[in-house]
Structure 1
């Protein structure tokens, strides 16, 4: 449950940082001395797992409303809990050398050690693994798997990592000096200490050229020892940035293709810069590099320093024309970043003083003789007051301006207005479609009406009013990639059906119906099919489980989970499972369930393509306790499970950045309100970490918002995520009754919109597993009618 952060609609929240960006200014001599202690004279190469995955990088639409902050179930505690899908990214197709899997490690006696976070929370210690529906480990514990034990250097490793994250090299050095080097080198995660030390040295600026060659040799030796491992992946990213700052373009060109995950825009841009600097007529040309860089340079987000560098290089070589510069300005306006607007305007040669005035005092520049300055002013005015901007636009439309400028201005007014759920959003969308009618197909590629994200917002304005013709037109303006999104495939199919083109509708419904997500479920029902669980894959054999357990990366991941180092553990797990077959993924998921790393169990099972086990995808731990809490308030347990799966991925100790805690992510303030309602006189915030208390409180609150919103699961799910008053406000803007699927689609907060879809889709599968019968998502979604807004009494 969220208490939302208040922010202007249309302002994107800052993207969370990836990894640890270490910008240190410590003494290089100190770092060299430190690494000398950490690096062994001869290092033994670890066997490398042959299977590696891709990290999920959910992208935020720059023009979408900021994500809400929870009132009782907060922002997802881990990236894994968010990721139901893995985004498509370019990655190296590495040919893995076959290595002999080492024998599983010997059983190590677990010793309670102060400061070391146990692998299993206390409330999980007695959890039964028997029975497919209970936790998912379908074969109980009949196959012995060695457990991760404690090691002498566990506490020290945690302290070293904390010093690394704090960028505290002196403390890092102090810990090393006071430690038993022999014991540290025996620790299974000792390479992490070496890795952190190297990354600290690479992050120091300015680069000490006198020592650069020696550092480079040490880095390359480490990368060779840990090739195709997570440790090498993270170090190589830092190394690529270091090479770019040294302008070592030839070496950068060699290093980038070795990355397992080639999906970070900044690193992609640096690679393309290196190609431009080392261009060879035989293999590369500036025109080819420009074409391959287009998606990076014309995405609806600020470019950042690396991609800005690439943009400048391409412009200097004549590969960015005037149309490209104008498109970059439109994207900067859409993302609403003043710095990016000024940067793009500067490339167009606009006077800085005029640009500043249009940004800061837009109402004074609406009639500018320069269309680009007026364009900035109108979009900035819409950010301030979209109602006033649209009124003024209708009264003072400048027909002398190019149609590309007019179309973009009114399209931005439309998308900003829809984010605010304003009634005129559809009228503005229709105006934009009318003004752009004469533009050709090139205008779509140039994003004249905005990015796919902005067009999606405009499409929702048409969907809210059930204007199927306008919906079709807006979808047609999207890129091929945008049109292929399941959401717009589904709604386009619905529009075809409304227009009487049943053949086209059926074709799209059939394409979606075999997919296990919200739109696949809706499409199946539109085809008259029931939603059922797919046949269960054969159970993993003993040899399959042992093979996964023997992978060094999997062993390191479990050790990292034991120590509470989840980001590092997640990376090890992803790298180890990236190229796994369905059979291997199912075995890895089963193993994770047995180790009670439940979020990895779910996420790994979610990735199979042909063989599926929904008892692993939709695990049901704590079933007796959840059913007791749910039955006490008359709540559907399938819905509760669907919500927990999305909230915390069953992590008992989940805690969000805003303070929400436990399985059902309850905020302390909401917890106190619930405690008062239930008569918990001695309630303390830490009680939310108790599994039984968390389930009792969470189910009580979910039932409360369900009753508060007239028994709508769609609205109650939105309320649990965005607070109880926002769904009321959104409902009040409806022009008439709509099906629940439309209500879910038009939610202006991207996080809440995704949340509602996933919670209810999850609930359908949980109900099918529990009741062994076909389910209907549309029945759960119901119908939602407009109603005057009123203030909820719930927190």
Structure 2
């Protein structure tokens, strides 16, 4: 079958599914629906009501009714909301409305209705709903301080609910000043000045002083430590913010002008603030400052970066102690399971290490692959599952939620489409259903959902679904002409766009290889594409040609290191050069990846190289080594080698 025939067949499949919805509609109804969606997002209840009335027989009535009701949620009666939830019970959009209603009930402190609805909320991923749930328990006299400490780790998501929870815990005597100052430091660490200011009076602090410490930390630190606990704590907050600009100057301020005015505990807190910011800069003094922070309570970021700096120095004793000091949930993350195994192995505790490796080696990700190699095995493709049967596929095709998802994808409403698709995945009970959903997605050319569905299996696998190779003829020609590793390029595309041809990021990157406009123009000029126009960036051939050439340029510039070049593709070439410049000796690629300061780039490098390892195993038909692909990362001027 030719490429053109395959594309025509896929387009026909999408059209057929959309036409199979209860009622076929003209494009005009879709336009009205889009306007209704926009009106609801603006909370324009009058326009939403008028537009909804023009869609009495729309193919997806649950969304018409949702967008009609959502702008009126504050004033709608409980009976009206319950009627909607009953009519569309078991659907993704009903759970979304229940989420919206729970937030409204929490704001109104209608705990009876809140408590009745909360057990019915399936997704339950809203931080504010969780804070309201603890407020409800607190209102009945329950002790919730430990649950609150475990929950309150991401101030960007707090909103009214979580800030009110902290206030209520203080009022109930379940949070003390230590808890509140920990929250203020966490807010400052995350750049949430408004949250820090609001919490300050709960611990005897001054709202304006805390704001000054966060927004003008160098000035605040220069004034020195004031008297009283609140002033000392505010000074520690300012130290952390000042260290973001210059860890060295903050360290000098603490050691020369403030240490004698602070208790041992306060000094440790100050050093922890400085050490974290120094870690983000990969400063050589970070390890020393973490040592001085011994005993200070650390945020989750602090706990992890303390270990990452020890890793960078191959201080395996500190790696082990740092991981073992983490809360259980964090300690059991595959990253820290793997690195704890390495630390135990370095201490000669080989069987304990192997036990940890075995616990994650069956997981198909970066750390599962590394653990597999520590067990003296290579990365291979598992035996393929029995192909999906016609009956299994027919059952999937009849799934109303997946059909709604396809309708949304056809309208380029990816947010709604993904919500519907993932909701149905949540309710599937067998791996065969996941494989059938992945095949259904493949047949309808929704490759990101194919990957998402196939990735969920644990015992039956189809790696052709997990690691697709669309446009392989174009990719082969392009990579061959450049002498590039096609597995690596596919691994990068899988991470960048999940093969969504018209994907566009929040910063304006476009297409399969997510090219920024300036990068696309630069590369087009360098490779002699004189007639390039940015409208071409979503053309498959052009996107792959530009993206692959750019990747090859940064690979050459960074001495052939896929780890460095992958980081450069995500964060720009200047940043990995800067991170590399802080090295004093060669480090293994896995340690370099683990200690990338940008969380997005850190995850990106791991995922791309993990993907590439599986693609190579598929292409070559033989086991592969992720460690060899990671290689080692050296200071500039030293020879790059592979990790054996």
2:317 equivalent among 457, 461, 469:
469
Q: Deviations over 1:341-365 (max 9, x none)?
A: 2233311112446545544332245
Residues 1:593 and 2:469 are matched in the alignment: no
**Structure 1 runs of 4+ off > 6 angstroms?**
none
User: Which residue of the partner structure matches residue 502 of structure 1?
Assistant: 350
1:362 equivalent among 220, 231, 244:
220
Gap change, CA 1:301 and 1:243, over 3 Å in 2: closer
Question: Partner of 2:17: helix, strand, or coil?
Answer: coil
> Is contact 1:301-1:331 (8 Å) kept?
no
Q: Which one is further off, 565-574 or 759-768? A: 565-574
Structure with greater contact order relative to length (CA < 8 Å, sep ≥ 6) = 1
Query: C-alpha distance in 2, partners of 1:499/1:394?
Result: 34
Query: C-alpha distance in 2, partners of 1:224/1:605?
Result: 32
Gap change, CA 1:124 and 1:390, over 3 Å in 2: farther
Question: Partner of 2:56: helix, strand, or coil?
Answer: helix
RMSD: 2.5
User: Which residue of the partner structure matches residue 25 of structure 2?
Assistant: 151
Q: What's the CA shift for 1:167?
A: 4.1
Query: C-alpha distance in 1, partners of 2:211/2:552?
Result: 51
Residues 1:248 and 2:110 are matched in the alignment: yes
Q: Which one is further off, 582-591 or 539-548? A: 539-548
> Is contact 1:296-1:307 (8 Å) kept?
no
User: Which residue of the partner structure matches residue 224 of structure 1?
Assistant: 86
Query: C-alpha distance in 1, partners of 2:620/2:209?
Result: 66
> Is contact 1:228-1:260 (8 Å) kept?
no
Q: What's the CA shift for 1:321?
A: 2.8
> Is contact 2:357-2:375 (8 Å) kept?
yes
User: Which residue of the partner structure matches residue 59 of structure 2?
Assistant: 188
Query: C-alpha distance in 1, partners of 2:31/2:208?
Result: 57
Query: C-alpha distance in 1, partners of 2:600/2:509?
Result: 16
User: Which residue of the partner structure matches residue 557 of structure 1?
Assistant: 405
2:499 equivalent among 637, 650, 656:
650
User: Which residue of the partner structure matches residue 33 of structure 1?
Assistant: none
Q: What's the CA shift for 1:618?
A: 0.7
Gap change, CA 1:696 and 1:127, over 3 Å in 2: farther
Gap change, CA 1:270 and 1:124, over 3 Å in 2: farther
> Is contact 1:737-1:784 (8 Å) kept?
yes
User: Which residue of the partner structure matches residue 164 of structure 1?
Assistant: 40
More helix by share: 2
Query: C-alpha distance in 1, partners of 2:34/2:235?
Result: 55
Q: Which one is further off, 720-729 or 156-165? A: 156-165
Q: Deviations over 1:651-703 (max 9, x none)?
A: 00111122111100111111111221222222111101111111111111111
Residues 1:323 and 2:178 are matched in the alignment: yes
User: Which residue of the partner structure matches residue 345 of structure 1?
Assistant: 200
1:392 equivalent among 253, 259, 274:
253
Residues 1:638 and 2:508 are matched in the alignment: no
Query: C-alpha distance in 2, partners of 1:476/1:405?
Result: 24
Question: Partner of 2:452: helix, strand, or coil?
Answer: helix
User: Which residue of the partner structure matches residue 269 of structure 2?
Assistant: 408
Gap change, CA 1:379 and 1:332, over 3 Å in 2: same
Gap change, CA 1:716 and 1:663, over 3 Å in 2: same
Query: C-alpha distance in 1, partners of 2:156/2:145?
Result: 18
Query: C-alpha distance in 2, partners of 1:389/1:290?
Result: 33
Query: C-alpha distance in 2, partners of 1:564/1:336?
Result: 34
Q: What's the CA shift for 1:475?
A: 2.0
Question: Partner of 1:320: helix, strand, or coil?
Answer: coil
Gap change, CA 1:293 and 1:353, over 3 Å in 2: closer
2:568 equivalent among 687, 705, 719:
719
Q: TM-score under structure 2 normalisation?
A: 0.91
Q: What's the CA shift for 1:337?
A: 2.5
Query: C-alpha distance in 2, partners of 1:173/1:250?
Result: 30
Question: Partner of 2:358: helix, strand, or coil?
Answer: helix
Query: C-alpha distance in 2, partners of 1:187/1:323?
Result: 56
1:200-599 to structure 2, matched below 5 A, reads: 200-202=71-73, 207=75, 212=76, 215-277=77-139, 279=140, 285-287=141-143, 289-297=144-152, 299=154, 303-352=158-207, 354-356=209-211, 358-359=213-214, 360=216, 361-370=219-228, 371-396=232-257, 398=259, 401-433=262-294, 436=295, 448-580=296-428, 581-599=430-448
> Is contact 1:512-1:520 (8 Å) kept?
yes
Q: Deviations over 1:584-605 (max 9, x none)?
A: 1111111111111110000111
Query: C-alpha distance in 1, partners of 2:590/2:136?
Result: 47
Provide structure 2 residue ranges, at least 5 long, that are not aligned to the other structure: 639-644
Report how many residues are paired. Answer: 623
Query: C-alpha distance in 1, partners of 2:485/2:534?
Result: 27
Q: TM-score under structure 1 normalisation?
A: 0.74
Gap change, CA 1:326 and 1:678, over 3 Å in 2: closer
> Is contact 2:338-2:371 (8 Å) kept?
yes
Query: C-alpha distance in 2, partners of 1:575/1:690?
Result: 32
Q: Which one is further off, 346-355 or 215-224? A: 346-355
